[in-house]
Structure 1
């Protein structure tokens, strides 16, 4: 499994990309695979958006807005020298794509959901099936232009009990994927 992590500050824009046609019209069957319970009202039974991208972005940012009102508007690694302008909410959206190499098969949505929940647990983002207090969603696009099956996971780093610390997330992502492959 191949993880790729980036971060941003525009949840509505990321949702627009995830459910859009892609940069080269490569998204063919974009739909929600799984999500935290607080995100389900934004999607229909087929996993398609049932609200505008802006509305989904606002729902996704709900926990961040609470942190901001509590005068805690920065992810842990965006305090100090990494954010000298003290820009609120900078890089608060964690985005990871998980891909299976082309030729290694195509998974079902249920298989992807099990992998995603396992991965988020290994990354210390959720605690097994208990994802209370954390906002996240996972979108599947179908095969990429290179032929690999993949999903995109979007996590709000602001949680009910503070911030999810993304320290060493790329290293931990590789380790988590290797351990998952072995099991």
Structure 2
């Protein structure tokens, strides 16, 4: 199982994408499988999708707006994590995806287990093989979430989930490989007439 994590500044934009048709009409039957309190509105199952979507955005953004009044809201307040099962994995049901989402938000520090002030989040499933977790990064006590190294902590939790659920085990690196040169290093090497970046020449 693979996680892809990013940040953004528009809760409404992300929710509009998650409940929309997708870039190539790939979103089929988008619906909520889990949320921070279990009572979040689900635009995918509502009669008035637009009204439910607005209510969901308002609920997610509540603590962000409160923190903004105090000048403490982060500019990139949206946390987005997509989780995709491997092509050969069995089809997980909504309950299993909900459990996986809860474990990931707890492991990454977005909503630690048994923390009443954890961030508000939802998990949306709009395809058989993956879900999206959308969260706002302001806690109930109006502090910013501590989610450092969230990709690594999510990856560790996903490794445990793969084992427990009998899913395909993704081969993960041990982070000991040499780092590749950044684009700026490569461009500097080209400007100086070097075939390789400085770090590659020094390593050799």
Match of 2:99 in 1: 114
TM superposition shift of 1:140? 0.1
Match of 1:79 in 2: none
**How far apart, CA to CA, are the structure 2 residues paired with 1:72 and 1:164?**
12
1:177 to 146, 158, 171: 158
TM superposition shift of 1:21? 0.6
Distance 1:93 1:52, change over 3 A: same
Deviating above 6 A after TM superposition, structure 1's stretches of 4 or more consecutive aligned residues are: none
For residues 82-107 of structure 1, what are the alpha-carbon distances to aligned partners after superposition, in whole Å with 9 as ceiling and x for unaligned? xxxxxxxx211000001111121111
For residues 110-152 of structure 1, what are the alpha-carbon distances to aligned partners after superposition, in whole Å with 9 as ceiling and x for unaligned? 1111111122222222233655542100100123xxxxx0000
The answer to whether the Cα contact below 8 Å between 1:33 and 1:138 also exists between their aligned partners in 2 is: yes
Answering whether residue 140 of structure 2 is matched by residue 160 of structure 1, we say yes
Q: 1:72-87 residue pairs with structure 2 within 5 A?
A: 72-74=72-74
**How far apart, CA to CA, are the structure 2 residues paired with 1:50 and 1:132?**
28
Distance 1:130 1:46, change over 3 A: farther
**How far apart, CA to CA, are the structure 1 residues paired with 2:84 and 2:153?**
16
Answering whether residue 131 of structure 2 is matched by residue 151 of structure 1, we say yes
1:135 to 120, 129, 136: 120
The answer to whether the Cα contact below 8 Å between 2:3 and 2:84 also exists between their aligned partners in 1 is: yes
Number of equivalences: 162
The answer to whether the Cα contact below 8 Å between 1:21 and 1:27 also exists between their aligned partners in 2 is: yes
Q: 1:4-153 residue pairs with structure 2 within 5 A?
A: 4-37=4-37, 40=40, 42-43=41-42, 46=45, 49=49, 51-74=51-74, 90-128=75-113, 132-143=117-128, 149-153=129-133
TM superposition shift of 1:19? 0.5
Between 111-120 and 151-160, report the one with greater CA deviation: 111-120
Match of 2:170 in 1: none
TM superposition shift of 1:33? 0.6
Match of 2:3 in 1: 3
Distance 1:68 1:44, change over 3 A: closer
CA-atom RMSD in angstroms: 2.3
Greater share of strand: 1
TM superposition shift of 1:47? 7.0
**How far apart, CA to CA, are the structure 2 residues paired with 1:73 and 1:34?**
25
